[in-house]
Structure 1
Amino acid sequence: MKRKAIVIGSGFAGLSAATNLTKKGFDVIILEKNDQPGGRARSFFVDGYTFDMGPSWYWMPDVFEKYFEQFGKKVSDYYDLVRLDPSYRVYFDKDDALDLEADLSKLASQFENIEKGSGKKLLEFLEDAAYKYQVGINDLVYKPGRSITEYVDTRVLKGLLQLNILRSMRKHVSKSFTNSKLIKLMEFPILFLGGTPSNTPALYSLMNYADMALGTWYPIGGMHQIVKAMVSLAEENGVEIKLGHNVKSIKVSNGKAVSVSTDKGDFEADVIVGAADYHHVEQNLLPKEHRQYSEKYWKSRKMAPSSLLFYLGVNKRVENIKHHTLFFDENFDEHAAEIYENPQWPSKPLFYVCTPSKTDDSVAPKGCENMFLLMPVAPGLEDNEEIRERYFGIMINRLEQHIGERIKENIVVKKSYAQSNFVDDYNAFRGNAYGLANTLKQTAILKPSMKSNKVENLYYAGQLTVPGPGVPPSIISGHVVAGEIAKDLNIKELV
């Protein structure tokens, strides 16, 4: 008789864990509280507009290909992928915008035009970042983080100095560039990793390689196409996905999880993977005596940002905006400090606008635009309609000022989403959007463990455990946890 596995949550980590477990010979059921799979990558449709609710950047295409290749498939079997060119636009001021070229040689020329000598330095910077990407993604990220001995690896040890783990991203970037615009461009991915450039390891310059060398991509139909692809693959491999099943508790007997109770019945299991919010699974679904971490521990965790989002349907075409547009016309360090060091609603926020209808006619009615505005904010803040509307006014006014065009009166669909929604929909700890911050003190074995030390057959996957926040890391997390389960149970992979 096959072993039974229950996966709680159908986000990227849950779908990945479930499908990988089928390769280990498990019968797998995913229990999902919402009425559609995908977790934060859900979508919704209204009046001809299709909105992705969460992730909008498709970076690290190699991770997606590697995932599907495990099952003899390709990304192109499920969705059409296009590379964006330019990758994105950055507004530094009203009359100062830069469209980043997808071609690396052209991008180097753009840098050179801004700061003499920086074109060559960019290529050298990215060559170094490529090494970090290869070691970081291929060697470090696929490790389960359960023991320090995992990192006693010749390649990693030899490369510790080159990985710049102890140097800050700020120092690393400023060593190559002095122009404030170029520094902003190189540091911007850090804003979503959960730290300021001054306290984030320079190892994460690997994100610059992902951005500028591997490119920014888009799946036609929207980011939810990735979810649909992973659901199709899961079901092809025998995974059963039960939507609308809100898990209420995990029953533990003699140190083992034996069943999961939902609002629609109980499910027995030999192994359970908590791929929903880690804090929620541990603190709310488990009896107190079986929790590995205390609330004091969780309160001491440093979180990556939450987000305030507005989904907008605009009944006309909007000029002077790209698929991805970043607004860096305010002080980067001040906004970062108001997220990480002195948590508060930002005084002069940076923000981001995604307009997928610039690439994809299917996500909006003809002659219209599908837009969403995103402002990163500290998690756990007070969240109400008055606050949301105040920041909507700030963002939309600055957007109109920069592009030189009125939009407000053409908005025919508008929906906001923020901390309280993340809590309601995903049981997100402190309303987080991106998980734990990627600081040195919360890396690898210092993250919440992938395996419970109190419950023998309870495991975790997702953005609050290894490897961390983001779509590719979440997919990797599911892959790694399935491997750890198989290793612990001495199961060989099915051919």
Structure 2
Amino acid sequence: MKNKIAIIGSGISGLSAAAYAAQAGNEVHVFEKHDQPGGRARQLKSGNGYTFDMGPSWYWMPDIIEDFFNDFGHQAADFYQLVSLDPQFEMIFKDGNISVPKSYNELKAIFEALEKGAGKQLDTFMKSARYKYEVGMREFVNKPCHSWLEFMSPRIAGSALKLDLLSSFRNYVGRYFSHPKLRVLMEFPVIFLGASPEKIPALYSLMNYGGYALGTWYPMGGFYELVTAMKKVAEEQGAIFHFNQNVEKIVTHEGRATGIITNGTYLEFDAVIASSDYHHTETLLDPELRNYKETYWKKRTFAPSCLIYYLGFKEKIPGLKHHTLFFEHDLNAHVKSIYDEKKWPDNPLFYVCCPSKTDPQVAPQGHENVFLLMPLATGLADAEPTREHYLLEMLKRLEKHTGAHNLASRLAYKKSYCISDFVSDYNAYGGNAYGLANTLAQTAVLKPSIKNKHLSNLFYTGQLTVPGPGVPPSIISGKIAANEVNNLKINRHEKAI
């Protein structure tokens, strides 16, 4: 039986859900409030030659992304060219920098040079991280997480100790490395998982393998190439996209979602998948039909928000890599400002992406495309003068690193994006940028449910539900939600018989 499915939002998880639900023979309609797909992965064109990826810029876990295309008889290369970055990124410290090479053996040599025996320790760490990656990303994260019984497969059950679910990531890294630079280098990937490394399970060392071992990549044309490719795949399956459509309500009747109201018009559907912010989606329902009360959300630990600047420079910036992390100040102090003090940081850490070092398409010839990102606590006031203060701080440190002078005067384009923008554009709870923190208390079954508990045909997908934040997990989340809808179709058919 062919069902008519509404998908709210065309972020990565919505695009994935649309493709898989349409592939199963459903009539799929995607409703997006903006004029383009992508959600947080939208594209910004300046009008004077600069093209910015508005969100994701780290192309990690390429095999997971490749799996998506393979499921539809494609490969990523059918849509865009992937370039392996070398160096993968550079990390700036007060007393010297670390440039992470593409070659694993060269990375081992760097570790050994900083700490005797660390090269061998890196091998041991990565062997364990690879195991976690293979079990975690191939089995653990693919569950809908209705019950802990889903994790009783022989491999997952037998891997419980090896997955280090109960160990702190910080303590885990400390077992292998003592040099402070090496510890920061290994801890940094989990910052965007939404909590201090002290509170993230050691399971997430799989991130180190998914990044450092599998490489850091860049799709020529920008990350938005992935978005347009996923949209094409979904359309090939028959999915239909509707832009500039703001979904205002999910209409229900006797335990079922019967349709949606978008731009004032009621449209009837057999099932709904919400790729929109989970908390916001719940506000589209009557209070008694929501999975969670407001007090639930207030008690959650959210991943950071961030201050972003999209900058176009009318000259090249010497000595700047594609990805650069500025960690001259104390990591713990910045993390504390996000999760404990909930204030703007005194000595911020930040990230710089300069895709024009790799891709001539994203800036005019001889110019530079630069994306600055500084992690922040959610819920902060973010007036323009405050944003501008931190921009000048980041530019000053960028000048010190590169030897460039007076970068502010060389700007041809500037746009800021911060907490209140995440709220207005994505209805993001507290202005979060990366969903819920992947703490042990918010892992798997303990995340917000992918299924509405009161409505048999409403499902949720994206970074606030399983498996969590990030592009590869969001692709997986969309597939999980689509499978739930596809199973709903099978169950209906069986009942009809």
**In the aligned structure 2, how far is the partner of 1:72 from the partner of 1:332?**
44
Q: CA deviation at 1:491?
A: 6.4
Partner of 1:410: 410
Q: What SS does the corresponding residue of 1:200 show, helix, strand or coil?
A: coil
1:309 equivalent in alignment to 2:302 = no
User: 1: CA distance between counterparts of 2:264 and 2:363?
Assistant: 36
**Alpha-carbon offset, residue 106 of structure 1:** 0.8
* Residue equivalent to 1:457: 457
Q: Deviations over 1:261-292 (max 9, x none)?
A: 0115222100100110010001x211112111
Whether the 8 Å contact between 1:16 and 1:230 is mirrored in structure 2 is yes
Please name the residue that 1:212 is paired with.
Answer: 212
CA–CA separation in structure 2 for the residues paired with 1:15 and 1:416: 27
What is the identity, as a one-letter code, of the residue corresponding to 1:71? F
Q: Distance in 2 between matches of 1:356 and 1:146?
A: 41
Q: Equivalents in 2 of 1:125, 1:42: separation in Å? A: 35
Assess if the C-alpha contact under 8 Å between 1:319 and 1:403 holds in 2: yes
Over residues 349-371 of structure 1, what are the superposed CA-to-partner deviations in whole Å (9 max), with x where a residue is unaligned? Answer: 10000000000000000001000
Pairwise mapping of residues 94-493 of structure 1 onto structure 2 (< 5 A)?
Answer: 96-263=96-263, 265-282=265-282, 284-406=283-405, 407-490=407-490
Using the size of structure 1 for normalisation, the TM-score is 0.98
AA matched with 2:469: P
Question: SS at 2:142's partner residue?
Answer: coil
Deviation of 1:185 (Å)? 0.2
Mapped contact 2:301–2:437 kept (Cα < 8 A): yes
Deviation at 1:154, TM superposition (A): 1.2
- Give the SS at the match of 1:191: helix
Q: In structure 1, how many angstroms separate the alpha carbons of the residues matched to 2:154 and 2:488?
A: 25
- C-alpha root-mean-square deviation of aligned residues, in Å? 1.2
Give the aligned residue type for 2:345. P
Structure 2 Cα separation of the partners of residues 492 and 11 of structure 1: 29
Contact 1:486 1:492 in 2 (8 A): no
CA distance in 1, matches of 2:487, 2:457: 12
Structure 1 CA distance, aligned partners of 2:181 and 2:125? 16
Q: Is the 8 Å Cα contact of residues 245 and 264 (structure 1) preserved in structure 2?
A: no
Residues in 1 aligned to 2:232 and 2:25: alpha-carbon distance in whole angstroms: 18
The answer for the alignment partner of 1:65 in structure 2 is 66
Q: CA deviation at 1:487?
A: 2.1
CA distance in 2, matches of 1:145, 1:387: 41
Please report the TM-score for the alignment, with normalisation by the length of structure 2.
Answer: 0.97
For the Cα contact (< 8 Å) 1:24–1:492, is it kept in 2? no
For 2:255 and 2:166, how far apart are their aligned partners in 1?
Answer: 40
| Structure 1 unmatched ranges of 5 or more | none
Gaps of 5+ in 2: none
> Residue type matched to 2:57 in 1?
S
Which whole-Å CA distance do the structure 2 matches of 1:452 and 1:486 have between them?
16
What is the distance in 2 between the residues matched to 1:180 and 1:403?
Answer: 24
What is the Cα deviation at residue 161 of structure 1?
1.1
Q: Secondary structure at the match of 2:6?
A: strand
Q: Give me the whole-angstrom Cα distance separating, in 2, the residues matched to 1:126 and 1:163.
A: 13
Structure 2 contact 457–488 (Cα < 8 Å) conserved: no
User: Match for residue 91 of structure 2?
Assistant: 90
Aligned to 1:12: 12
Paired residues, number:
491
Matched, 1:52 2:43: no
Secondary structure of residue in 2 paired with 1:490: helix
What is the aligned-residue identity percentage? 50
The letter for the 1-side match of 2:328 is: D
CA distance in 1, matches of 2:365, 2:492: 52
Q: Is the contact between residue 24 and residue 491 of structure 1 (CA under 8 Å) also seen in structure 2?
A: no
Aligned partners of 1:396 and 1:408 also within 8 Å: yes
What is the CA–CA distance in structure 2 between the aligned matches of 1:464 and 1:207, rounded to whole Å?
19
Per-residue CA shift, 1:71-98, capped at 9, x if unaligned? Answer: 10110011110110100011112x6122
Give the conservation status (yes or no) of the 8 Å contact 1:277–1:427.
yes
